[in-house]
Amino acid sequence: MDASRDARFTRSFGEPPRSLRVRANGVELHLLEWGDPTAQPVLMVHGMRGHARWFTPVGPAVAARYRALSLDLRGHGESGHAPPYGPSSYAQDVVALVDALALQRPILVGHSMGGRVTTLAAGLLGDRVAGLVVVDSGLGPPATDRDRARPSGVQRPGQREAHQQPTEHRVFDDWDTARARFELRPGATIASPEMLDHLAFHALEALEGGRFRWRFAPELRRVGPRSGPPNPIEFPELNCPVASIYGGQSLIRARTDLRTSTERFVGATWTAVEVIEHVHHHVFVDDAQAFNPILMKYLARMASDSPPCPRRAAHASDPGALADSR
């Protein structure tokens, strides 16, 4: 795998993304951007130990009508490594990013752990958010009063300590060795080999001498989707519409009661649930052609429910934002 082959694969989905770097909440965050930078923003957030390129097959489709943004969470992809890590910290980064880019009425899209992150962020942002789309995210039951009362330094039962001393990543001698170690978790997928190569290529950092190592912060080996102290707004009352999209073959779908799956979104102006039967947990990686029309349907409904997005200057003039053409 090399950069030219990866670039050809990226272009096969349409417009290649632009790179943005934004200082927010004490860390430099990297994003991908597609489409008109003055259009209504759709901010997409990946799952645990993922990266912004998971949305490569989604961004160009979204960009047909919106400003599509895909975030590398702190410690992931090309964003800075700066603890603390965990959904609560990531959600605060999303809020700071919305402020830094002056995003007006964004729609948040979160996959897997990113669903937890975007739910938290939507609670913090309140009526500044136009909508929330949660993709195959195991949010679990609402926090109990006991959870909310637990002191902030205390772990949940079974939760690993997220701030142990980091370990160094293993260095792989060549691409083939590194690629062999890349796998999706959960592992079931119908994604093409080319898609998996693309995800692996951006999960790895090229070193001198043709060697590779993981891009994500070493501490993230000890951080799970529920890491961090209990958060009193873990299941906030939301003031926006919420759509949930599941993979029909996903383990998360298997343990989710769709009849009650929307009850956690208290205060949502409306809720919707949709299942794409033939895909697994990594829904849009498995089949973006099936996922994108469903996502666009809900984005259109959410956008129509919100006030028009005021036109503004392009991103390059935003304070704190730097753009390149990668």
pLDDT in tens, 257-314: 888 888 889 899 999 999 999 999 999 999 999 999 999 999 999 998 766 544 433 3
**In this predicted structure, what is the pLDDT of residue 138?**
84
Which of 137-141, 156-160, 225-229, 315-319 reaches the highest mean pLDDT?
137-141
Shortest CA distance to 201 belongs to which of 43, 13, 29, 56? Answer: 56
Q: Output the 3-class SS for 234-290.
A: CCCCCCCCEEEEEECCCHHHHCCCCCCCCCCCCCCCCEEEEEECCCCCCHHHHCHHH
**In this predicted structure, what is the pLDDT of residue 102?**
97
Read off the amino acid at residue 178: A
Contact 247, 286 (CB under 8 A): yes
pLDDT tens, position by position, 8-25 = 999 999 989 999 999 999
| pLDDT higher than 50, residue 253 | yes
Count CB-CB contacts under 10 A for residue 307: 9
**In this predicted structure, what is the pLDDT of residue 160?**
41
| pLDDT higher than 60, residue 232 | no
Question: What is the share, in percent, of the chain residues with pLDDT greater than 90?
Answer: 70
Compute the mean pLDDT over every residue in the chain, rounded to the nearest whole number: 85
**In this predicted structure, what is the pLDDT of residue 158?**
38
| pLDDT higher than 60, residue 184 | yes
pLDDT tens, position by position, 68-122 = 999 999 999 999 999 999 999 999 999 999 999 999 999 999 999 999 999 999 9
Which domains can be identified in the chain, with CATH numbers? 3-142+175-306 (3.40.50.1820)
| pLDDT higher than 80, residue 60 | yes
**In this predicted structure, what is the pLDDT of residue 302?**
97
Give me 326's structure tokens: 């990668």
Contact 238, 211 (CB under 8 A): no
Question: What is the share, in percent, of the chain residues with pLDDT greater than 70?
Answer: 81
**In this predicted structure, what is the pLDDT of residue 231?**
52
**In this predicted structure, what is the pLDDT of residue 2?**
82
- Alpha carbon distances (Å) from 76 to 31, 104, 205, 320: 11, 25, 11, 20
Q: How confident is the model at residue 39 (pLDDT cuts 50, 70, 90)?
A: very high
Q: Residue ranges of the alpha helices (H) in the chain? A: 3-11, 59-62, 87-100, 113-125, 145-149, 175-181, 193-203, 251-254, 283-286, 288-305
**In this predicted structure, what is the pLDDT of residue 145?**
45
Q: How confident is the model at residue 233 (pLDDT cuts 50, 70, 90)?
A: low
C-alpha 284/C-alpha 291 separation (Å) is: 6
Give me 255's structure tokens: 């343990």
Top pLDDT among 166 and 251 is at: 251
C-alpha 200/C-alpha 76 separation (Å) is: 13
**In this predicted structure, what is the pLDDT of residue 259?**
82
Top pLDDT among 154 and 234 is at: 234
